[in-house]
Structure 1
């Protein structure tokens, strides 16, 4: 009887121990020692070009908040690419890294690009047309002087007429460009640097390519060109995708389960591992160091986003947001410019769905 009771007690304790292990809460120390190795600093250097069917290519570096085009040039060799930094994290052993779409593929709508280009050209056209009008007026004055017998003005007249005709051709060319169809492209060079490594120059970044993006939810997957996650680097578990597919086959309502999991986060502790301000804060004498920050879920805003009190700065876009068991619950993507105390994350189910599109 005693042996029987002892066996039951052992089974009970084992079951309790298993539950404790399953629900064991992580600490900042354990996150830094293990999971932080799977987080990378992303560097994206890029510029844009727009090709018109008039055989003209214009290069530029962006569009400001007022819709003005930046860094315009007609010579690709004169382009000064923009560099931005973000955060990503490994989600597979074959080098797949999750991040934000605005980190991996910063884009504008073709409509906005065309409007900005046309606006810039129109401003230029107006300025050149003003010069043409002034030059035409001056040519009239010189013509009167020449007709009155002042032949010394002839060389000045001829030189100014040549400039005026050249400017008029430029105005005509700009007007043709404004009515031409165009094709807009982004030229991007993406690389990542690993946590706890020394980064001294661009050669210390490992080359990546963009695999796919979800612009609606600001998510992207990039991949090391080697297609192999370096050994000993942590890979965040995205096995929810397999569970989701299996549940769909079994007829389970997976969407309701996801909503239930999301609602259970309210008020819970969350952690974020990322590179606030990119290399500015991360570079130390000991190498590149990701920051681990802590907060709480302050609001389940909708089915796509959650809001939390984790401090966040530019550069942390794409960081994994983890629950108290160290599981990914969101991908950090935005905050308020006037405060770092409230930030948003895209719920993990959208990342799971994006991963499913490439399986």
Structure 2
């Protein structure tokens, strides 16, 4: 039995072995299936996430509430960065526009470039437009006739205090009073006066003066007429035709005289305005200045005073608002100017900042630009003027001239047209003499 059992056991083992192998194969297949299932299960978490996400949708507002403070902080930080950038570039632009630095008192600049940088904003271009005016019986009108053309003059000036006061030449501020213009303008004004008197009758109203003179200027004459003397006028042609009424007959001379008297009496007589009631002169139409680096901006001014002493070609121009612009970092302080002109020796440096040729040379694509010219003192001062070898031309009248340290030594006023490099300036001590009140004002200057 045991043997049977043993055999049956062996048989059993033998019979089971294939099953075990089958089971191993099945296990192997099952492992592959499980792997696929596991792979499939590995996707389930995504489904779970979707389900969880779906199930967590009601909690989204909570998550948003948690994110909002960060958003606020982010935008706040961005705003701060933007404002900081604007402030930085604004400050940078401001600093770039303020290239000049305040001058330390009694410090020698000792360089043309430093002098230019210090005072370029203080030197301005002057544009002066003027014309002919007439005052007739107290009524002032501007003459708009062909010969009385308006004129424009360019020059230079420079700020000397915070009240908008500028120094220039008197011939820039009153060009009609210069020696070269005086005779020409005097001749013109006298001729205009006589012409007005030859056509303007007393029956014309004051409001009609300007229109009447302009309309009848072609009939005006500059020949002088004594009071009561016959003048040419339109109706005067009747006087000449009066002779046609006088025939060559044997009538008595007394008859001819009587006839002539009758004809003369029939001619209408007009009274003309007397030359004594007429004054003709030149006057400023407008005067303004342009700052360095400005573009198409003219600041209106008034002429305050010109030097009384003959030969002292100086005058004061003032801004209408009586305030020196903030862009003028350094005024030309006349308190620091050279007052002892005997100390100015030939061979020493002379530096001029000016606007020669006015707009023609000053205008650029980026605005008005002042120019620097240098040379040397070439002749000792005579107490009023000094000569220096600085190249310049019209438009530089009124420009400041400095020594090597940047101290004012003169105000440029003339040159020799035929030869460049010979110019003259009024020595700076004459500014204090002509305008002593400026010394008081400049004590508070920046």
TM-score category of the 2 structures, normalised to the smaller one? 0.5 to 0.7
Is residue 208 of structure 2 the alignment partner of residue 139 of structure 1? no
Q: Answer whether contact 2:109 2:115 (CA < 8 A) is retained.
A: no
Is residue 288 of structure 2 the alignment partner of residue 194 of structure 1? no
CA distance in 2 between counterparts of 1:132 and 1:182 reads: 22
CA distance in 1 between counterparts of 2:294 and 2:233 reads: 59
Counterparts in 2 of 1:20-39, with a 5 A limit?
22-23=107-108, 25-27=110-112, 29-39=113-123
Return the TM-score normalized by structure 1.
0.67
Larger radius of gyration: 2
Greater percentage in strand: 1
Counterparts in 2 of 1:176-325, with a 5 A limit?
176-177=274-275, 179-180=276-277, 182=279, 186-199=283-296, 204-215=297-308, 216=310, 217-233=312-328, 234-240=330-336, 258-261=340-343, 264-325=344-405
CA 1:120–1:135: 2 relative to 1, 3 Å:
same
Provide the aligned C-alpha RMSD in A.
3.8
Which moves more between the two structures, 278-287 or 221-230? 221-230
Equivalent pairs counted in the alignment come to: 283
Is residue 152 of structure 2 the alignment partner of residue 83 of structure 1? yes
CA distance in 2 between counterparts of 1:122 and 1:186 reads: 19
Q: Answer whether contact 2:301 2:319 (CA < 8 A) is retained.
A: yes
CA 1:270–1:259: 2 relative to 1, 3 Å:
closer
Q: How far off is 1:139 after superposition?
A: 1.2
CA distance in 1 between counterparts of 2:146 and 2:307 reads: 26
**Cα deviation code 1:67-123 (max 9, x no counterpart):** xx9844xxxxxxx532211101111122211111111233439x9666643344557
Q: What 5-or-longer segments of structure 2 have no aligned partner?
A: 1-105, 196-220, 250-262, 441-446
Return the TM-score normalized by structure 2.
0.55
CA distance in 2 between counterparts of 1:60 and 1:181 reads: 13
What secondary structure, in the 3-state scheme, does the structure 2 residue paired with 1:103 have?
helix
Which moves more between the two structures, 338-347 or 209-218? 209-218
What secondary structure, in the 3-state scheme, does the structure 2 residue paired with 1:239 have?
helix
Q: Answer whether contact 1:240 1:352 (CA < 8 A) is retained.
A: no
Is residue 175 of structure 2 the alignment partner of residue 106 of structure 1? yes
Is residue 388 of structure 2 the alignment partner of residue 327 of structure 1? no
Is residue 130 of structure 2 the alignment partner of residue 46 of structure 1? yes
**Cα deviation code 1:257-281 (max 9, x no counterpart):** 72432xx332211111000100100
Q: Answer whether contact 1:328 1:348 (CA < 8 A) is retained.
A: yes
Q: How far off is 1:126 after superposition?
A: 3.2
Q: What 5-or-longer segments of structure 1 have no aligned partner?
A: 1-20, 62-68, 73-79, 148-160, 245-256
Q: Answer whether contact 2:128 2:284 (CA < 8 A) is retained.
A: no
Counterparts in 2 of 1:52-63, with a 5 A limit?
52=136, 54=137, 57=140, 59-60=142-143
Greater percentage in helix: 2
